[in-house]
Structure 1
Amino acid sequence: MIRAMYANLKRPPRSVTDWLADVVRAVAIVIVIVSLFTLPFTDFAVLSMSLPAVMLSRMIGLRSGLDLVTCVTVFVAAGSNVIDLYRAWTGWDLIVHAVCTGVLAAVALVLLDDARVIEPTGRRRTPIVVATMAGLALSAVWEMIEWFGYRFITDAIFVTYDDTIGDMIAGGAGALLLGVVASRFRLTRADRAAL
């Protein structure tokens, strides 16, 4: 599994979309490093939480378009917190929760598929159920992290019951939509190294 992830990571980009995804990855890494020295620690921590997903999307061999969308979405989600877009733009929080949870559900589906926990994606109904469950689980974990940050780190984090439930509904809806897509199309590249 580690060898396959390494092989996918070192695979040279073959399309414009591959190059764009790698540029977003590189920019994300540079911004996180710079933020360590220029931003409050909490902002650095939020930005750095995006890096595993940004790297994992390439390591598991997501299709190039999905890889790019994952990188952009996850980093925009983290950056929106740092520049306070969630408070500035009404509804932005729900949009980001839906899209971000959807792409993270795609990553979860591929990992579960490779571990042979579920059937392969594409032309099956299993991904609809599994993606939705994974999205709801990821949403719940995220909301617990938000609550922990609010309770023990800073009260600047916005946490209310309505916000929590709304975020989880949006995340579940995004994951459900991704599950429908995954039930009809492969999420991974044809030339990826199998995990």
Structure 2
Amino acid sequence: MPLIRAMYANLKRPPRGVVEWSADAVRAAAIVGVVVSLFTLPFTDFAVLSMSLPAAMLSRMIGLRAGLDLLTCVTVIVAAGSNVIDLYRAWTGWDLIVHAVCTGVLAAVALVLLDDARVIEPTGRRRTPIVVATSAGLALSAAWEMVEWFGYRFITDAIFVTYDDTIGDMIAGGAGALVAGALASRWRLTRADRAPL
């Protein structure tokens, strides 16, 4: 239960500064948007949007630095929203940009969780975050591509799935995670005053 208590302490901590207030505002807007989408959009769109909420909430609960918290919230919401309004088909290259950034921020979250669980060495060491973040990013990319394939195969053929798209998405995700790992090897990912998990 110490993990739950620490996450709750980070969640209930009042925001400090413009960036933390902004991250909480984006989080609140996402929650409202998902609830509204349940009644106004097809169920598949609601499901896609709701997938952004765990990451948006987790970034607050693990005590990410304010800027990274805001970036995580915005990124996962943009990633889900782009699917709902079909930006991935409309804008060439948007898919790769979103995969790189989204996988990068999720790899940073994975680094914090693995560090707190003492699965890896502290993220201040130079090589560990680069290797672990890249590995986590590639694993997350593979998992996401399997979810896309499952959705295409068993739910709706409106999901765009091709071999080239899958490989390109995984390369972009791996690159984003590599960048996240390189940044984590230089800078702390969490607030100094967070409750340790």
**TM-score, scaled relative to structure 1:** 0.99
Query: CA deviation digits over 1:24-64, x for unaligned, max 9?
Result: 00000000000000000000000000000000000000000
Gaps of at least 5 residues in structure 1 are none
Whole-Å separation in 1 of the counterparts to 2:48 and 2:100: 18
Please state if 1:165 is matched with 2:171.
Answer: no
Whole-angstrom distance in 1 between the partners of 2:80 and 2:122: 30
The RMSD of aligned alpha carbons is 0.5
Residue 120 of structure 1: how far off its partner (Å) = 1.4
Kindly provide the CA deviation profile for residues 108-141 of structure 1, in whole angstroms up to 9, marking residues without a partner as x: 0000000000111124210000000000000000
Mapped contact 1:98–1:170 kept (Cα < 8 A): yes
Q: Does 1:67 align with 2:69?
A: yes
Aligned-partner SS, 2:10: helix
SS in 2 for 1:135: helix
Taking structure 2 as the reference length, what is the TM-score of the superposition? 0.98
Which residue identity does 1:183 align to in structure 2? Answer: S
Aligned to 1:45: 47
Cα distance between partner residues in 2 of 1:144 and 1:35: 25
Amino acid at match of 1:42: T
- Give secondary structure in 2 for the equivalent of 1:166: helix
Matches within 5 A, 1:1-195: 1-195=3-197
Residue aligned with 1:58, SS: helix
Q: Is the 8 A contact 1:123 1:185 kept in 2?
A: no
Amino acid at match of 2:68: L
Partner AA of 1:130 in structure 2: V
